[in-house]
Amino acid sequence: MSDRLYFRQLLAGRDFAVGDPVATQMVNFAYLIGDRETREAVLVDPAYAVGDLLDVLDGDGMRLTGVLATHHHPDHVGGEMMGFSLPGLAELLAREPVPVHVNRAETDWVRRVTGLSATDLTGHDHDDLLEVGAIGIRLLHTPGHTPGSQCFLVDGRLVAGDTLFLEGCGRTDFPGGDAEEMYRSLQWLAGLDGDPVVYPGHQYSAEPSAPLSSVRSNNFVYRARSLPEWKAMFG
Protein backbone atom coordinates (compact mmCIF):
# COMPACT_ATOMS: atom_id res chain seq x y z
CA MET A 1 0.00 0.00 0.00
CA SER A 2 2.97 2.37 0.42
CA ASP A 3 2.98 3.24 -3.29
CA ARG A 4 -0.74 4.05 -3.17
CA LEU A 5 -0.63 6.05 0.06
CA TYR A 6 -1.14 9.77 -0.28
CA PHE A 7 0.10 11.48 2.89
CA ARG A 8 0.86 15.14 3.51
CA GLN A 9 1.68 17.03 6.69
CA LEU A 10 0.79 20.73 6.50
CA LEU A 11 1.83 23.37 9.03
CA ALA A 12 -0.57 26.20 9.89
CA GLY A 13 0.89 29.62 9.20
CA ARG A 14 3.38 28.21 6.70
CA ASP A 15 1.64 25.75 4.36
CA PHE A 16 -1.88 27.11 4.85
CA ALA A 17 -3.46 30.06 6.67
CA VAL A 18 -0.35 32.08 5.79
CA GLY A 19 -0.42 35.45 7.52
CA ASP A 20 -2.98 34.36 10.13
CA PRO A 21 -1.40 35.35 13.48
CA VAL A 22 -3.33 32.77 15.51
CA ALA A 23 -2.46 29.95 13.11
CA THR A 24 1.18 31.05 13.10
CA GLN A 25 1.32 31.13 16.90
CA MET A 26 -0.46 27.81 17.43
CA VAL A 27 1.65 25.85 14.87
CA ASN A 28 -1.03 23.22 14.28
CA PHE A 29 -0.50 20.43 11.81
CA ALA A 30 -3.25 19.29 9.46
CA TYR A 31 -2.92 16.05 7.52
CA LEU A 32 -4.13 14.76 4.18
CA ILE A 33 -4.41 10.97 3.83
CA GLY A 34 -5.68 9.12 0.80
CA ASP A 35 -5.36 6.61 -2.02
CA ARG A 36 -3.43 7.83 -5.07
CA GLU A 37 -5.19 5.38 -7.36
CA THR A 38 -8.81 6.09 -6.41
CA ARG A 39 -7.98 9.78 -5.67
CA GLU A 40 -10.02 9.65 -2.46
CA ALA A 41 -8.70 11.48 0.61
CA VAL A 42 -9.59 12.54 4.13
CA LEU A 43 -8.54 15.66 5.97
CA VAL A 44 -7.30 15.46 9.58
CA ASP A 45 -8.04 18.41 11.89
CA PRO A 46 -9.04 21.17 9.44
CA ALA A 47 -9.01 24.65 10.98
CA TYR A 48 -8.06 28.27 10.24
CA ALA A 49 -8.23 28.23 6.42
CA VAL A 50 -10.22 25.28 5.14
CA GLY A 51 -10.24 26.72 1.63
CA ASP A 52 -6.44 26.52 1.54
CA LEU A 53 -6.56 22.86 2.54
CA LEU A 54 -9.15 22.05 -0.10
CA ASP A 55 -7.00 23.86 -2.66
CA VAL A 56 -4.04 21.63 -1.78
CA LEU A 57 -6.20 18.54 -2.29
CA ASP A 58 -7.51 19.86 -5.58
CA GLY A 59 -4.02 20.76 -6.75
CA ASP A 60 -2.92 17.20 -6.05
CA GLY A 61 -5.87 15.81 -7.99
CA MET A 62 -7.49 14.34 -4.89
CA ARG A 63 -11.17 14.30 -3.88
CA LEU A 64 -12.33 14.85 -0.29
CA THR A 65 -14.44 11.98 1.05
CA GLY A 66 -14.30 12.60 4.80
CA VAL A 67 -12.76 14.33 7.78
CA LEU A 68 -11.00 12.86 10.80
CA ALA A 69 -10.92 14.83 14.06
CA THR A 70 -8.37 13.98 16.73
CA HIS A 71 -10.34 15.94 19.37
CA HIS A 72 -12.72 18.84 19.87
CA HIS A 73 -10.47 21.82 20.61
CA PRO A 74 -11.12 24.80 18.30
CA ASP A 75 -7.57 24.96 16.94
CA HIS A 76 -8.25 21.51 15.45
CA VAL A 77 -11.93 21.70 14.42
CA GLY A 78 -12.87 25.39 14.57
CA GLY A 79 -14.90 27.33 17.11
CA GLU A 80 -14.41 30.02 19.74
CA MET A 81 -11.00 30.16 21.43
CA MET A 82 -9.33 32.95 23.43
CA GLY A 83 -11.70 35.54 21.99
CA PHE A 84 -11.13 34.41 18.41
CA SER A 85 -13.62 32.66 16.14
CA LEU A 86 -11.68 30.04 14.21
CA PRO A 87 -13.03 28.56 10.97
CA GLY A 88 -13.10 24.78 10.83
CA LEU A 89 -15.54 21.93 10.36
CA ALA A 90 -18.65 24.08 9.95
CA GLU A 91 -17.10 26.09 7.13
CA LEU A 92 -15.68 22.97 5.51
CA LEU A 93 -18.99 21.09 5.52
CA ALA A 94 -20.73 24.12 4.04
CA ARG A 95 -18.50 23.59 1.00
CA GLU A 96 -18.01 19.83 1.09
CA PRO A 97 -20.72 17.88 2.99
CA VAL A 98 -18.69 14.82 3.94
CA PRO A 99 -18.78 12.58 7.05
CA VAL A 100 -16.79 13.73 10.07
CA HIS A 101 -15.27 10.79 11.92
CA VAL A 102 -14.84 11.28 15.67
CA ASN A 103 -14.44 8.99 18.64
CA ARG A 104 -17.80 8.17 20.15
CA ALA A 105 -16.81 9.77 23.47
CA GLU A 106 -16.02 13.04 21.68
CA THR A 107 -19.24 13.41 19.68
CA ASP A 108 -21.06 15.79 22.02
CA TRP A 109 -17.93 17.85 22.61
CA VAL A 110 -17.34 18.36 18.86
CA ARG A 111 -21.00 19.19 18.33
CA ARG A 112 -21.01 21.85 21.06
CA VAL A 113 -17.76 23.48 19.92
CA THR A 114 -18.48 23.53 16.19
CA GLY A 115 -22.26 23.87 16.07
CA LEU A 116 -22.58 20.82 13.84
CA SER A 117 -25.56 18.51 14.21
CA ALA A 118 -25.31 14.94 15.45
CA THR A 119 -26.06 13.69 11.93
CA ASP A 120 -22.90 15.39 10.64
CA LEU A 121 -20.75 13.22 12.90
CA THR A 122 -19.90 9.53 12.67
CA GLY A 123 -18.92 8.09 16.05
CA HIS A 124 -16.30 5.36 16.25
CA ASP A 125 -14.98 2.93 18.84
CA HIS A 126 -11.38 2.07 19.62
CA ASP A 127 -9.59 0.23 16.81
CA ASP A 128 -12.25 0.84 14.20
CA LEU A 129 -10.89 0.72 10.66
CA LEU A 130 -11.71 3.49 8.20
CA GLU A 131 -10.99 2.64 4.57
CA VAL A 132 -10.13 5.42 2.15
CA GLY A 133 -9.97 3.68 -1.18
CA ALA A 134 -7.66 0.76 -0.44
CA ILE A 135 -5.90 2.60 2.42
CA GLY A 136 -6.84 1.41 5.90
CA ILE A 137 -6.66 3.85 8.82
CA ARG A 138 -6.88 2.48 12.37
CA LEU A 139 -8.70 4.78 14.77
CA LEU A 140 -7.13 4.50 18.23
CA HIS A 141 -8.96 5.87 21.28
CA THR A 142 -6.35 7.62 23.44
CA PRO A 143 -8.18 9.62 26.15
CA GLY A 144 -6.41 11.99 28.50
CA HIS A 145 -6.11 15.31 26.70
CA THR A 146 -9.88 15.04 26.09
CA PRO A 147 -12.31 12.17 26.73
CA GLY A 148 -12.46 11.11 23.09
CA SER A 149 -9.00 11.98 21.81
CA GLN A 150 -7.96 9.62 19.06
CA CYS A 151 -4.84 8.85 17.04
CA PHE A 152 -4.66 7.42 13.54
CA LEU A 153 -2.35 4.61 12.45
CA VAL A 154 -1.76 4.24 8.72
CA ASP A 155 1.04 2.43 6.93
CA GLY A 156 3.72 2.92 9.58
CA ARG A 157 2.64 6.44 10.49
CA LEU A 158 0.99 7.49 13.76
CA VAL A 159 -0.95 10.74 13.50
CA ALA A 160 -1.01 11.49 17.21
CA GLY A 161 -3.02 14.70 17.57
CA ASP A 162 -2.46 16.27 20.98
CA THR A 163 -2.01 12.95 22.76
CA LEU A 164 1.70 12.64 22.05
CA PHE A 165 4.15 15.25 20.81
CA LEU A 166 7.80 14.60 20.02
CA GLU A 167 8.51 16.59 23.17
CA GLY A 168 5.78 16.43 25.81
CA CYS A 169 2.11 15.52 25.54
CA GLY A 170 -1.23 17.28 25.55
CA ARG A 171 -2.36 19.14 28.65
CA THR A 172 -4.80 17.45 31.01
CA ASP A 173 -6.04 20.52 32.90
CA PHE A 174 -8.64 21.58 30.32
CA PRO A 175 -12.29 20.46 30.73
CA GLY A 176 -12.48 16.73 30.11
CA GLY A 177 -8.76 16.18 30.64
CA ASP A 178 -7.61 13.32 32.83
CA ALA A 179 -3.99 12.76 33.90
CA GLU A 180 -4.48 9.07 34.71
CA GLU A 181 -6.08 8.40 31.35
CA MET A 182 -3.23 10.23 29.64
CA TYR A 183 -0.68 8.02 31.37
CA ARG A 184 -2.49 4.88 30.25
CA SER A 185 -2.84 6.17 26.69
CA LEU A 186 0.84 7.06 26.45
CA GLN A 187 1.90 3.68 27.80
CA TRP A 188 -0.37 1.91 25.32
CA LEU A 189 1.01 3.91 22.40
CA ALA A 190 4.55 3.09 23.53
CA GLY A 191 3.79 -0.58 22.95
CA LEU A 192 2.64 -0.26 19.33
CA ASP A 193 4.29 -2.71 16.97
CA GLY A 194 6.55 -1.76 14.11
CA ASP A 195 8.04 1.52 15.38
CA PRO A 196 5.67 3.86 13.50
CA VAL A 197 6.74 7.42 12.77
CA VAL A 198 4.97 9.87 15.09
CA TYR A 199 3.28 12.85 13.42
CA PRO A 200 2.03 15.22 16.16
CA GLY A 201 -0.78 17.76 16.25
CA HIS A 202 1.57 20.72 16.78
CA GLN A 203 5.18 21.49 15.90
CA TYR A 204 6.46 21.90 19.44
CA SER A 205 9.88 20.49 18.52
CA ALA A 206 12.57 21.16 15.95
CA GLU A 207 11.61 18.15 13.85
CA PRO A 208 8.09 17.61 12.47
CA SER A 209 8.12 13.83 13.01
CA ALA A 210 10.21 11.06 14.54
CA PRO A 211 10.12 7.27 15.02
CA LEU A 212 8.20 6.15 18.09
CA SER A 213 11.34 4.47 19.45
CA SER A 214 13.10 7.85 19.40
CA VAL A 215 10.14 9.55 21.08
CA ARG A 216 10.09 6.87 23.80
CA SER A 217 13.81 7.40 24.42
CA ASN A 218 13.87 11.20 24.37
CA ASN A 219 10.46 12.48 25.43
CA PHE A 220 10.35 13.33 29.14
CA VAL A 221 6.78 12.02 29.44
CA TYR A 222 8.20 8.49 29.31
CA ARG A 223 10.50 8.99 32.28
CA ALA A 224 7.74 8.09 34.74
CA ARG A 225 7.85 4.33 35.45
CA SER A 226 4.53 4.05 37.27
CA LEU A 227 1.21 5.84 37.64
CA PRO A 228 2.09 7.28 41.09
CA GLU A 229 5.35 8.62 39.67
CA TRP A 230 3.48 10.07 36.70
CA LYS A 231 0.93 11.77 38.96
CA ALA A 232 3.73 13.25 41.05
CA MET A 233 5.23 14.71 37.88
CA PHE A 234 2.12 15.70 35.92
CA GLY A 235 -1.02 15.14 37.99
Q: Output the 3-class SS for 2-58.
A: CCCEEEEEEEECCCECCCCHHHHHHCEEEEEEEECCCCEEEEECCCCCHHHHHHHHH
Question: How large is the average pLDDT for residues 75-99?
Answer: 93
* CATH of residue 195: 3.60.15.10
- Tell me the backbone φ, ψ of residue 89, rounded to 5 degrees: -60, -40
Residue 41 pLDDT greater than 80, yes or no: yes
Residue 8 pLDDT greater than 90, yes or no: yes
Torsion (CA) 205, 211, 213, 218 in degrees, nearest 10: -10
- Mean of pLDDT over the chain: 96
pTM: 0.96
Question: How large is the average pLDDT for residues 117-125?
Answer: 96
Rounded to whole angstroms, the Cα distance separating 228 from 233 reads 9
- What's the pLDDT at 231? 87
- What's the pLDDT at 233? 83
Question: How large is the average pLDDT for residues 47-76?
Answer: 98
Residue 139 pLDDT greater than 90, yes or no: yes
Q: Strands, DSSP E only, in the chain?
A: 5-11, 29-35, 40-44, 63-68, 79-81, 84-86, 100-103, 121-124, 128-132, 135-141, 150-154, 157-161, 197-200, 210-211
The CB density around residue 130, as the number of other CB atoms within 10 Å, is 19
- What's the pLDDT at 84? 83
Least confident interval from 55-64, 70-79, 115-124, 224-233: 224-233
Considering the chain, what percentage of its residues have pLDDT values greater than 70? 99
Q: Which pLDDT band, with edges at 50, 70 and 90, does 1 fall under?
A: low
Residue 113 pLDDT greater than 70, yes or no: yes
Considering the chain, what percentage of its residues have pLDDT values greater than 90? 94
Q: Which pLDDT band, with edges at 50, 70 and 90, does 81 fall under?
A: confident
Question: How large is the average pLDDT for residues 4-18?
Answer: 98
Question: How large is the average pLDDT for residues 77-92?
Answer: 91
Q: How many domains does the chain have?
A: 1
Range of the domain at 151: 5-234
Residue 82 pLDDT greater than 80, yes or no: no
The single-letter DSSP state of residue 153 is E
Question: How large is the average pLDDT for residues 182-198?
Answer: 97
